[in-house]
Amino acid sequence: MSSSRVSPQALPAPTGETVVALLRTEDASAFAELVEPYRRELQVHCYRMLASYEDAQDLVQETFLRAWRRRETFEGRASLRAWLYRIATNACLDFLARRPERADLPLPDDARRGEVPWLQPAPDRLLAATPDQQEPGAVAVTRETIELAFLVAVQHLPPRQRAVLILRDVLGWPAKDAASLLETSVASANSALQRARATMRTHLPAARMDWTQTAEPSRHEQALVERYMAATDRTDVDALKALFDEELRFAMPPEPGVWIGRDACVQSWVDGGFGSPEVGEFRTLPTSANLQPAVANYVRQPGDRHFRLFAIDVLTIRDGRITEVTAFGGDALQPFDLPRTLDEAGRAVHAGDE
């Protein structure tokens, strides 16, 4: 398994001695300036551990608070990045210990496999490396290790297996460093990693276990998304079915249940009112989440002038077919830079014009 590294493009990070000196001061603003460049990558790390974008944001704040309180323990033998990752990982493990329903997710049967009620999407703009992160050791976010399918599969691992898999196979940490963070032996860490990989293989296609940087969506994928949007706008059930794999999977966290099978998934939408006058008309906009294609759905209910944002469908495309649709609404939409209201032509409506 491989991980991608970002080539250096910025000024060198402070040396170990400089960081130690800065951390020994009582200057909170200097401390914040020192750790802030790591916020985004730490948020991605916590997001992989927890699958909740909201919780990941909270845990990064907790990480910085712990780092400030323990700043005198930093001795400069490891990099500041490694020290912060250690704190962030332990903060996530402590969170999971307090929330056992997230730490000990039972393996569901085939009809429910993949269900993770706390799963939330992440906007692509918050996953890309920033100029501050373009330094040796910064880890590029690969599509395979941030897709919803990966996040769901990781949630089936016990917390410490989850941590060692992410540290070793995603971040590329040496075995001894991962073992040190988890305060265990290298042999125990390697054993946990092997068990984690075995579990992941039961939830991901075999080809997905070699994680390398994936190219941008192909023209065919873009065309498929456009056809999905057009069919949704027309509420054309038959046209939608033509785009789906026979084993299509549909979920809408935090609602319970996973629908499996093209006909069953589409019928669940029809049963929910898709295409009925009571639900209203649809308009869609292209977007993306978790480095996957996504579609923002707007509905104009009877008597309303405008179309209002109510959900994002995150799409998984394999072999020319849409194989998974995961829909999110409510608070999960907040991080996305999407207009909340559209007019008849699909243009954004400003709040004062509604």
262 and 134 in a common domain: no
321 and 204 in a common domain: no
Kindly give, in sequence order, each residue whose CB lies less than 8 Å from that of residue 322, ignoring residues fewer than 6 positions away. 224, 228, 243, 244, 245, 248, 315, 316
Short-list 10, 136, 22, 4, CA closest to 81: 136
What is the CATH number for 245? 3.10.450.50
294 and 312 in a common domain: yes
Per the domain annotation, does 2 fall within a domain? no
Task: Look at residue 76 in the predicted model and tell me its pLDDT.
Answer: 80
Task: Look at residue 216 in the predicted model and tell me its pLDDT.
Answer: 64
Residue 38: what residue type?
A: Y
230 and 158 in a common domain: no
Per the domain annotation, does 277 fall within a domain? yes
Count CB atoms within 10 A of the CB of residue 80.
23
Q: How many secondary structure helices (H) and strands (E) does the chain include?
A: 13, 7
Task: Look at residue 102 in the predicted model and tell me its pLDDT.
Answer: 59
Per the domain annotation, does 101 fall within a domain? yes
Q: Which residue, of 209, 237, 272, is where some domain finishes?
A: 209
247 and 139 in a common domain: no
127, 44 Cβ separation under 8 angstroms? yes
192 and 70 in a common domain: yes
Segments in the chain below pLDDT 70: 1-16, 100-114, 128-140, 205-217, 351-354
Task: Look at residue 346 in the predicted model and tell me its pLDDT.
Answer: 84
**CA 8 – CA 66 distance, rounded (Å):** 28
Per the domain annotation, does 214 fall within a domain? no
240 and 106 in a common domain: no
Per the domain annotation, does 1 fall within a domain? no
Short-list 160, 152, 208, CA closest to 181: 160
73 and 47 in a common domain: yes
* Total domain count, the chain: 2
Per the domain annotation, does 193 fall within a domain? yes
Q: pLDDT per residue over 314-330, tens digit each?
A: 999 988 999 999 999 99
Per the domain annotation, does 262 fall within a domain? yes
Q: Which residue, of 179, 209, 239, is where some domain finishes?
A: 209
241 and 137 in a common domain: no
Strand blocks (E) in 188-279:
244-251, 259-260
Per the domain annotation, does 11 fall within a domain? no
181 and 39 in a common domain: yes
Count CB atoms within 10 A of the CB of residue 240.
23
Task: Look at residue 229 in the predicted model and tell me its pLDDT.
Answer: 98
Which residues form the domain of 46? 16-209
Structure tokens, 2? 């491989």
Q: Is the peptide bond before 254 cis (omega within 30 degrees of 0)?
A: yes
pTM over 0.75: yes
What is the CATH number for 146? 1.10.1740.10
142 and 282 in a common domain: no
> What number of residues does the chain have?
354
Strand 259-260, strand 321-328: pairing: unpaired
Q: Which residue, of 209, 234, 264, is where some domain finishes?
A: 209
Task: Look at residue 205 in the predicted model and tell me its pLDDT.
Answer: 64
Task: Look at residue 134 in the predicted model and tell me its pLDDT.
Answer: 46
203 and 238 in a common domain: no
